[in-house]
Amino acid sequence: MSETLKVDLVVIGAGSGGLSVAAGAAQLGLSVILFEKGEMGGDCLNYGCVPSKALIAAADKAHQARASGLGIKATEPSVDFAAVMAHVHRTISTIAPVDSQDRFEGLGVRVIRSAARFVDDRTVTGGDVRVEGRKIIVATGSRAAVPTIPGLDRLPYLTNETIFALTERPSRLIVVGGGPIGVELGQAFRRLGSDVVIVEAADILSREDPEASRVVLDQLRADGVELCPGTRVVHAEGGARALVLTVEGPDGERSIAGSHLLIAVGRHPSTGGLDLEKAGIAHDERGIITDRSLRTSNRRVYAVGDVAGRGQFTHLAGAHASLVVRRAVFALPVNADALVVPRVTYCDPELAAIGLSEAEARRIHGKEIRVETFPFTDNDRAQAEGDVRGLGKLITTKKGKVLGVTVVGRHAGDHIHLWALAMSSGLRLSALTGMIAPYPTRGEIGKRLAGKWYTPALFSGRTRRLVSFLKHLA
């Protein structure tokens, strides 16, 4: 080693969580070293949120061109796939300076572009530097999971880390995995002109409320995506642009041929090569084990983001970073278990949720819950736009505590913000009904859901009798 250092904070990983911790600590005057073996910005910027949403935006333009109605005649768009991918990479390049090495060095962070590993319980080494940190943050994220399928290792399959390098549109894309990544990218490629089939061993979007996911599945079928739920891949063979999967499903065994194969079965925490055992850091298949303050079994070391095993969302990694800065720098009590984390699947229509689903609430609380729904067919803005797909669903205790909310519909992700605020702040439903919502907006659905909760009591026989009495006093 050519250099040995002692610093206040060592951060391993320059994704959302690691960058947020490093920036916050450096601006507070702490000495910070940041290790990153790959691209600054991590998965979200380079292979996840940013490129996928840029691709989805292009696919939406193509879809809207094909849409008829409201007096408009549809036309078939000309899709220049290479130009679409150029837009994707231009978007990454535009955002990249915010996460760049230059910016962070300007904040006072020393950035070492090398893999890092633990030497002992307080020391990390990477490149030609050995660093002892007063506190160490592991923020290495996650990587695409690859299932064990006979023959797969001999095929040129894609993951979210490689699919955005395509310059030619797949003629027929097989997607293995019917979760958010598989659904988002499958629909986007279909709308850009590829034939697409999604193969999923369980139900597609199985984590989500069935009533909400059914709205999405109906749209996927309308788009021409072939859906194969309850279907297991038993063998893979072929080569470039000539792939064949043997699958077993409800109708028995059959073959599915395609030009390209996308593996989207989930993600594994990136713990390999860290030598966590040398630092006494406990971990399992879900990631590094942490307490509610995000501290590991090594009291000097914290974990944030995907690798902490508490959820795989960029916004959750950012929230973790804030907690760790408060705990590791200011020694304030924090509780990661108390975070209420929204999630969005960015298909069309979008599906957003926070808290418990109806099924989860019934399993935990039994009959002591109430469920209210409000369809977009009753939303005037949706009617004016000619797009009434979807609904909102509110799950509460019988006393009105919000347990969870699901919204499926156009831009549903923008409507879950209100419920994230309500649940994280412990707002009563009356706070939402008392709010004046601008008309006509799709966002009115939040107030209407809250209002429906009060409807039975507001128009009950008891209330009518009270009004009958009060009218003589007015």
What's the average model confidence in pLDDT over 48-58? 97
pTM for this model (two decimals): 0.94
| Bridge partners, residue 372, by sequence | 394
| Confidence band of 284 (pLDDT split at 50, 70, 90) | very high
Give 320-379 pLDDT, tens digit per residue: 999 999 999 899 999 999 999 999 999 999 999 999 999 999 999 998 999 999 999 999
Confidence category of residue 456, pLDDT binned at 50, 70, 90: confident
CATH code for 152-265?
3.50.50.60
Average pLDDT over residues 249-260: 96
390 pLDDT more than 70 = yes
Q: Residue 462 has what pLDDT?
A: 75
pLDDT of 464 reads 67
Name the CATH superfamily housing domain 3-144+268-338.
FAD/NAD(P)-binding domain (3.50.50.60)
Residue 240's pLDDT is 86
Q: Are 29 and 156 in contact (CB under 8 A)?
A: no
Q: Where are the domains of the chain?
A: 3-144+268-338, 152-265, 349-460
- Token look-up 């736009």 returns 385
Q: What's the pLDDT at 461?
A: 72
> Across 129-181, where does the E strand assignment appear?
129-138, 142-144, 172-176
**Model pLDDT, residue 128:** 92
DSSP 277-326: GGGT--EETTEE---TTSB-SSTTEEE-GGGGTS---HHHHHHHHHHHII
What is the distance in angstroms between the CA of the first residue and the CA of the last residue of the chain? 86
Please state the rounded mean pLDDT for residues 224-242: 95
pLDDT at position 459, please? 65
Average pLDDT over residues 282-293: 97
What is the pLDDT at residue 463?
65
Beta bridge partners of 174: 197, 261
Return the CATH number of 349-460, one of 3.30.390.30, 1.10.3720.10, 3.30.70.270, 3.20.20.70.
Answer: 3.30.390.30
Domains 152-265 and 349-460 share a fold: no
Name the residue among 1, 10, 61 with its Cα closest to residue 32: 10
Residue 398 confidence class, pLDDT cut points 50, 70, 90: very high
Is the Cα dihedral 5, 9, 12, 18 positive or negative?
A: negative
Q: In the predicted model, what is the mean pLDDT of residues 245-271? A: 96
Locate the DSSP E strands across 203-300.
226-228, 232-239, 242-249, 252-258, 260-263, 267-269, 283-284, 287-288
CA distances (Å), 141 to each of 8, 187, 207, in order?
A: 22, 26, 21
The band of 225, judged by pLDDT with boundaries at 50, 70 and 90, is very high
What pLDDT is attached to residue 415? 97
| Confidence tier at 434 by pLDDT (50, 70, 90) | very high
pLDDT number for residue 460: 63
Asked whether the predicted pLDDT for residue 383 surpasses 80, the reply is yes
Q: Is 53 exposed, middle or buried (0-12, 13-18, 19+ CB in 10 A)?
A: middle
